């Protein structure tokens, strides 16, 4: 029961991430919504699934999966953002400042 | 000496991953020991990035505390971004700010940049020298010192102790 609720909360975060992907104005902000909500979303989902099944070695597998998500997810989103900035994809109109372009 | 420390830490990490991945059986453990040992030896001459990790009890305590600090930030910022996405007017004030870090080691900077990227609302776009360029969804402080205080300080406090 608790596992199901936690998994549900995780999926809500994933849903909000998808919604953010549609609503955000430019590539950088979309990345914020799209790549980050997956961290907490999939973490909660995995923990929920582990609580639901809760036998054998499920916990060690879940810990390992969370570790791999935590280590790989930021690297891919950083690489995407950096590449987007390198090929000069324009930022949204609301953008307040851009220190990186100033320094280059 | 640095290479030796790097290899020891690498061996421990590989062994822990192996144990989590398989079960606690003699055969599995022996296979894991041999493989981890071989990898640790074969990568002995590579750059000793992991050697910057401090192995003192204080550093260990701080790394456990860091997990909780990070989890708290992760949940708070996730809720914040969720609130922004759900607000009809979409309240954003995005931009790239420059912050600087006191951390010297490569692995320290890596963990800092990853932590910043993992918390929604901030995304590391570039790391150059001691500076990090961060895309921030809602800019609260425009100058370097203010942004550093706002984004980096809470993580750096712990990372300074963990990584020399």
Tokens at B55, concatenated: 């192995």
Name the residue ranges covered by the structural domains of chain B: 2-52, 57-162
Q: Which residues of B are less than 8 Å from A78 in CB distance?
A: 113-114, 117, 123-125
Task: Answer yes or no: are the C-beta atoms of A47 and A59 closer than 8 Å.
Answer: no
- Decide if pLDDT at B7 tops 80: yes
Instruction: Say how many residues make up chain B.
Output: 164
Here the ipTM equals 0.82
Q: Give residue-wise pLDDT tens across range A53-95.
A: 888 788 888 989 988 888 888 888 888 888 888 888 777 776 7
State the smallest CA–CA distance between residue A53 and chain B in angstroms: 17
Say what the pLDDT of residue B30 is: 92
> What's the CA gap between B91 and B110, in Å, rounded?
30
B16, B17, B77, B123: best to mutate for the A interface, most A CBs within 10 A: B123
Name the residue ranges covered by the structural domains of chain A: 2-92
């Amino acid at each position: 029961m608790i596992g199901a609720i936690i998994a549900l909360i995780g999926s809500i975060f994933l849903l909000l991430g998808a919604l953010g992907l549609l609503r955000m104005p430019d590539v950088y902000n979309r990345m914020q919504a799209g790549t980050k909500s997956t961290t907490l979303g999939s973490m909660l989902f995995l923990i929920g699934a582990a609580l639901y099944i809760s036998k054998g070695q499920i916990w060690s597998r879940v810990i390992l999966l969370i570790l791999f998500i935590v280590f790989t997810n930021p690297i891919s989103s950083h690489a995407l953002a950096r590449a987007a900035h390198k090929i000069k994809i324009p930022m949204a109109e609301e953008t307040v400042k851009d220190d990186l372009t100033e320094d280059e | 000496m640095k290479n030796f420390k790097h290899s020891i830490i690498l061996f421990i990490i590989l062994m822990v991953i192996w144990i989590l991945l398989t079960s606690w059986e003699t055969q599995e453990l022996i296979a894991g020991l041999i493989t981890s040992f071989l990898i640790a030896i074969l990568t002995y001459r590579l750059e000793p990035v992991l050697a910057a990790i401090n192995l003192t009890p204080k550093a260990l305590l701080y790394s456990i505390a860091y997990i909780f600090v990070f989890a708290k930030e992760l949940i708070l910022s996730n809720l914040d971004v969720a609130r922004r996405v759900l607000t009809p007017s979409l309240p954003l004030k995005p931009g790239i700010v420059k912050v600087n870090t006191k951390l010297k080691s490569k692995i320290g900077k890596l963990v800092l940049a990853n932590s910043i990227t993992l918390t929604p609302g901030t995304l590391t776009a570039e790391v150059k020298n001691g500076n990090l360029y961060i895309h921030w969804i809602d800019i609260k402080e425009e100058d370097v010192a203010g942004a550093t205080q706002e984004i980096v300080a809470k993580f750096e406090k712990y990372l300074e102790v963990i990584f020399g």
